[in-house]
Amino acid sequence: METVTDPKAVVTKTFFDALGRRTATVENYLAGANYWTVEPLSPKSRAADECRITATTYDMAGNTVTLTAVDPDHDGNLADNQVTV
């Protein structure tokens, strides 16, 4: 995992798989049980600007297969995940 903090103290946290590929990016990352059931793909209900999650999957060759906006309405329910193939 890697975190980057911008001058306004907004944190972007990036998650990687065992091959070093970026699997998820969380913008305006906030830590703790108030925000997460399981990081980084099962967020809890939160404010609209908190923990904006984008997940990436890859094929065996390392090509991007899907991009997913995880819980884009921030209600903690993943039914609205927006998958781009």
Q: Which residues bind Ca ion (CB under 5 A)?
A: 71, 73, 75, 77, 80
| Strand bridging mode 42-43 / 52-58 | unpaired
Which residue lies nearer to Ca ion by CB, 4 or 83? Answer: 83
Shortest Å distance, C-beta 65 to Ca ion:
22
First CA to last CA distance, the chain: 25
Which residue lies nearer to Ca ion by CB, 5 or 34? Answer: 34
Which residue lies nearer to Ca ion by CB, 17 or 80? Answer: 80
Shortest Å distance, C-beta 67 to Ca ion:
17
Report in angstroms the alpha-carbon separations of 51 from 5, 13, 19, 72, 75: 14, 9, 24, 10, 11
Cβ 71 vs Cβ 78: under 8 Å: yes
Shortest Å distance, C-beta 85 to Ca ion:
20
